[in-house]
Amino acid sequence: MMRGYILRRLAIMVPVLLCGSMITFGLVFLSPGDIGEMMADAEASAMGMYATQEMIDAINEHYGLNDPVHVQYLKWLKNALHGDLGRSFSSHRPVLREFTDHLVPTLVLNLAGIMIALCISIPLGVISAVKKNTIIDHLCRIYVLLEISMPTFWLALMLMWFFAFKYDLFPLYGYGWGWKDNLWHLVLPAVAMGTSMTGSLMRLTRTSMLETLGQEYIVTARAKGLGEFIVISKHALRNALNPVVTMVGLFFGHILTGSVIIETIFSWPGNGSLFLASINARDYPMIMGFTLIFMALFVIVTLITDISYTLLDPRIEYR
């Protein structure tokens, strides 16, 4: 039953990835500017000269940019099905190699951000639900409102100004050398990314806990004389975590593809900043390759999230 569910979900990936790649390819070529001319200008500038029409024509011919858009897409799709996502126009390296080389910093940043978000949002959400309509609950809800209203880039800049520029407690930007230095550089971007998720997670945790605390089995557990800590941690929290797990999975899939802002502000050498540089350079093999990988990762993370429900609640069955 579980195997059939997984196979059906994986089969759905095929039309999703196909449609996503077609839309992305079309948007790249509909955007203003000539790709061959931009590439020629970049290469000519690196040599201290101006691009000529001969250079532009040679680049268009070499990369097949003179072909109709649908022909270029079919060529790219054929190569992608064989595991070849092309070569970057800028670095002339394989797109897949560029992605894997920058994957570890992105994963480290995203996982650290999610851990920070969970460590803040779940305890505060539980406390807010247990202390409903008290001063603690009101303070937690005010924090949620402030956090949701706070732009991520503004928070990142404030963290940089206060902790790196004014008091020089943490590095301003970069990745560092060695694992200790890397952890020191990781603090500010991870806090900025994690804090940006706490508001939504905390509000969802509070709502789910309030709903769970009103269930009959919670009343029965209390009537049996179980301690409040056992009732909250073992019976209520575990059953209240399903929607939280869903949001965490969506957050992970989202920030894995959308950590562009944080990585750019802190000069973090991950896939987000590299993807932004590729967009600015109109490096369409990189744009297409990264988009396809990001979409596949998002669908896979969502599938893993759905499967994890059975670990939290054995009553859930997949049909």
Torsion of CA 110, 115, 120, 125, to 10 degrees: 100
What local confidence, expressed as pLDDT, does residue 175 receive? 76
312 has a pLDDT exceeding 70: no
What pLDDT, on a 0 to 100 scale, did the predictor assign at position 58?
A: 82
At residue 135, does pLDDT exceed 90?
A: yes
Q: Which of 3-17, 64-78, 111-125, 285-299 is the least confident region?
A: 3-17
N-term to C-term CA, the chain: 6
Q: Which residues pair with 87 in a beta bridge?
A: 94
List strand residue ranges (DSSP E) for the chain, in order: none
Q: CA Rg, the chain, in Å? A: 24
* CA dist 131 → 25, 49, 209 (Å): 52, 69, 11
- pLDDT tens for 194-209 read 888 888 888 888 888 8
CATH class of 103-269: mainly alpha
Q: How far apart are CA 75 and CA 151, in angstroms?
A: 41
8: tokens are: 């059906």
Q: Write down the mean pLDDT value for the chain.
A: 80
The CA distance from 53 to 149, in Å, is 50
- The pLDDT tens digits of the residues spanning 93-113 come to 888 888 888 888 888 888 888
Of 114, 106, 112, 102, which is closest to residue 256 (Cα–Cα)?
106
pLDDT confidence tier of residue 314, bands split at 50, 70 and 90: low
Please tell me the total number of residues recorded for the chain in this structure.
319
Q: Report residue 266's pLDDT band, with 50, 70 and 90 as the boundaries.
A: confident
Buried b (16+ CB within 10 A) or exposed e, 179-188: eeeeeebbbb
Please report the pLDDT score of residue 316 as a whole number: 58
DSSP letter for each residue of 285-298: HHHHHHHHHHHHHH
Which of 28, 3, 202 minimizes the C-alpha distance to 122?
A: 202
* Domain residue extents for the chain: 2-99, 103-269
